[in-house]
Amino acid sequence: MRGVSVDVSIVRRGRIVDAAVNKHGFRLRSKRKFIYGDTVDILRRLHVPYLIGIGDIGKMKGLDDIHRACPVTVSALRLLIELDNWSMGQCRANSPLLLVN
């Protein structure tokens, strides 16, 4: 396993962090923003502009369940859309992306 570098991550409660997360969605204390696992190594081959770590939603004790409105998945998708808009020069002054950190 070589792992993959992430730009940011979404922890199991849906908050954006400037770090990697483990498979349970907990923030890692490592300075390197890398996630590891046999299923993420394939991402090294893809040339995508952003990688957002979310852990394994099946191992988060239901915190990303559909009955809870999937906060981790929704946060990650919103962030990807926001990052894409920002890279296209369409970022709004009140964009949530500007409030990260």
- 28-74: pLDDT as tens digits: 998 889 988 777 888 888 878 889 999 898 999 999 999 999 999 99
Structure tokens that stand for 98 in this block: 């500007």
Mean pLDDT of 1-6: 84
- pTM confidence score: 0.77
Residue of 83, 2, 95, 14 lying closest to 40 (CA atoms): 2
pLDDT at position 94 = 46
When pLDDT is cut at 50, 70 and 90, the band that residue 1 belongs to is low
The residue extents of the domains of the chain are 4-99
Contact 53, 20 (CB under 8 A): yes
Secondary structure in 3-state letters for 66-93 = HHHCCHHHHHHHHHHHHHHHHHCCCCCC
Q: What angle do CA 15, 51, 5 make, to 5 degrees?
A: 100
Contact 58, 86 (CB under 8 A): no
When pLDDT is cut at 50, 70 and 90, the band that residue 89 belongs to is low
